[in-house]
Structure 1
Amino acid sequence: GCHTRHEFKPSEARKRETCGICHMGVDHAEWEFWNNSYHGKIYAMEGDQWDWDQKMNPKNYRAPTCAYCHMGEDGNHNTQNMQTVYNHMGMFQVNRGAPRYKAKRDAWIKKCQGCHSPRFAAEQLYAMDEQINISFTKWREAVGILIGLYLEGLFDPMPADLAPDWTGGHTMNLLPGGQPRFYNVSKIERLAVEMIVYQVTAVYKAAAHFSIDDVSYNAGAFPMDRQLIEIKDEASKLRRISTLEKEVGIEHVAYDFWKHGEY
């Protein structure tokens, strides 16, 4: 929780370390991204000198921690205040700058105005929108490759050749009715799941927490570029092997080991 059960101190909830217990790791690295932002660096340099018994107000703190943006000065426990709409942790594309979300965007900008001009805040959020749009362009390209292979029956193995998923079915994990998962899938499906869960979400979360390096080099765009290359490389191999098998009259049957596992 935001404060441990034996203390219930607001001062504890205001510090970044508390949030890092859960909001960290490769699939939702908000804590790491915030640490790598200017906000995080100021905290690292000066945080031990701040009076954490004061309310989360820009007059009291030179940089915001998680609680300032997500809980506010009044201690509102709706920690999704700054979220436009729930998007499965960044795995669904949302146009956060759309007119239907204007009230949310205005509230976000108002929150930033504790320290920044509204123009500066709006420009930063617009840059976030563009970075997210680019990441989903790459994701759609990857999905298009996978769907093409699936329709041609070129996955190795195909979903029908795997052990049943938790629903008892064999639906491709990226199709409606499927369940995105890291196990009991073909290699190319696994690569795609890593791309959406790790890199696409990293672009969004790093941009939202203003970590320049993580948006690009470290966690987001550049690793995503490599992942897309890996997907294309695997797709190329699957097509070439299929062509060779047809030429020599081989009808491949998935190996039995694909049907078993601790699922």
Structure 2
Amino acid sequence: MLGTPLMTYAADACIDCHTKLSPGQVMDWQVSKHAENDVGCAECHGEAHSTAEDAMKAVLPAEQKCAECHQDQFDQFSHGKHNFGWKSLNAIPATHMAPDELIEGGRGCGGCHNMGIKSEEEKKVLADKGYRYQNNSCDECHTRHAFSKKEALNPRACQQCHMGYDHPQWEMWSSSKHGMRWFAKQNGDLPETAAAPTCQNCHLPDGSHKNETAWGFLGVRLPLPDNEQAAADRVTILKALGVLDPETGNPTPILDAVKAVRMAKLDQESWQKERDKMLKTCSQCHSPKYVKEQLDMGDSIMSKADRLMADAIETVAALYKDGLIKKPANYPANYPFLLTFMHTNGERWDKDLDKLSYIDQVLVQMYMKHRMRAYQAFFHVNPDYAYWYGWNEMTKDLGEIKELARTMRATHK
């Protein structure tokens, strides 16, 4: 198809067939830069597939194929956090307890955590299970087959993944002053020159494909803070994440997984590097003094949220220690384990086993849902999420955990 004039597209075998079979794909490609530059089907999908019978021979291109023309973007992506989506998914124990359809079927975790360059062995495992369509990361933001730069620069491109239970950044941004101004600007209610920062302006500036944040997803980091209580609280959270052994306080193999996918900053230098980037970004619109005050306030609320979180973890941990909760089979220690999320007690979801105890479920909700809102909302400047959906819900969770623990102790035989 390379070099085929636009007026003869209908005569091309691929277009002729797929106009009937998958017309949306054809229409997207026809309005794309690829079509404009005579990049046809065979450039990405190969020439082995030509009939319905040999459809499985069509290559579903990985990121390396995109790199043949977009090397800079590929290099940036490969060094950013999006590239660790797939590996971080597989590093978390909860992944291996859920139905495959939610992981590789593109509806649950795998629908977003597909992002990330996969090894040939990882691709083979997926192919052997019958999954072959989530083979590329680029089309998460530049969707097939239009692959539009404009689309990827629209903050709605981030919405599918950055919303919901444990990462409602879309809801926070879109209902913040930043988001409100962007929507107003879209409607023509603000001039074209008005500041209206999007996700991309702050996290992927100047078209960069290398994204990173200071605090990361887990909201924990090293070194420990100077404040004795704040340091103790963070250690408690790291124990509940399985990163530190609850008895000795020593690092566990889970720390290696956290390091491998950069799930947390483990030294001051790497954290400061990202913080300095954000200080510079925010200072494009605000005074540096104001920016620093706001980001420091976000750090401060994290310490206060960690005090609530650590109190809750220690309350549940005491139930484990006293035998009121039996250690689940695959837990790393006789201690609460936040990385099971809301799944079964460490085995496959379809085994005939007791589900995660209710008090453990409340604890996981407190960490994964409400603590995330409490601290993320400060950095996304959203008052309602910071207080009502975050801090206030954490205090309610803690109260419920305390009451459940009292009841469990009173009724224990």
1:6 aligns to 2:145 (yes or no): yes
Q: Describe the shift of the 1:63–1:232 C-alpha distance in structure 2 as closer, same or farther (beyond 3 A).
A: same
Partner Cα separation in structure 1 for residue 385 and residue 342 of structure 2: 23
Structure 1 residue aligned with 2:256:
none
Q: Number of residue pairs matched?
A: 218
Where 1:159 maps in the other structure, the secondary structure is coil
4+ residue segments displaced more than 6 Å: none
Per the TM alignment, residue 173 of structure 1 is displaced from its structure 2 partner at its CA by: 6.4
The answer to whether the 8 Å contact 1:91/1:197 transfers is no
C-alpha deviation, 1:103, in angstroms: 3.0
8 Å contact 2:214–2:272 — kept in the other structure? no
Aligned position for 1:255: none
> How far has the Cα of 1:43 moved from its partner?
1.4
Tell me if structure 2 keeps the 8 A contact 1:173–1:179: no
Residue 144 in 1 paired to residue 283 in 2? no
Are the aligned partners of 1:159 and 1:171 in contact in 2 as well (CA < 8 Å)?
Answer: yes
- With the length of structure 1 as denominator, give the TM-score of the two structures: 0.75
Q: Kindly, what percent of the aligned residue pairs are identical?
A: 28
Separation of aligned partners in 2, 1:92 and 1:106: 18
Counterparts of residues 175-214 of structure 1 (less than 5 Å): 175=337, 179-183=339-343, 184-214=355-385
Q: How far off is 1:8 after superposition?
A: 2.2
CA 1:214–1:85 in structure 2 vs 1: closer, same or farther (change >3 Å)? closer
1:223 aligns to what?
393
2:220 maps to what in 1? 92
Partner secondary structure for residue 224 of structure 1: helix
Within a 5 Å distance, the mapping from 1:39-188 to structure 2 comes to 39-49=178-188, 62-73=195-206, 75-80=207-212, 83-84=213-214, 86=216, 89-92=217-220, 100=269, 101-155=271-325, 158-159=326-327, 164-165=329-330, 171-172=333-334, 174-175=336-337, 179-183=339-343, 184-188=355-359
Counterpart CA distance in 1 for 2:334 and 2:187 is 50
Q: Residue type matched to 1:10 in 2?
A: K
Deviation at 1:78, TM superposition (A): 1.1
Distance in 1, matches of 2:332 and 2:294, equals: 43
Q: Where does structure 2 lack aligned partners over 5 or more consecutive residues?
A: 1-139, 226-264, 344-354
Instruction: Give the partner amino acid of 2:152.
Output: A
Q: Aligned in 2, Cα 1:127/1:188: closer, same or farther, shift over 3 Å?
A: same
Contact 1:159 1:185 survives alignment (8 Å): no
8 Å contact from structure 2 (residues 185, 196) kept in 1: no
What do you get for the CA RMSD once the two structures are aligned? 2.4
1:170 CA drift (Å):
7.9
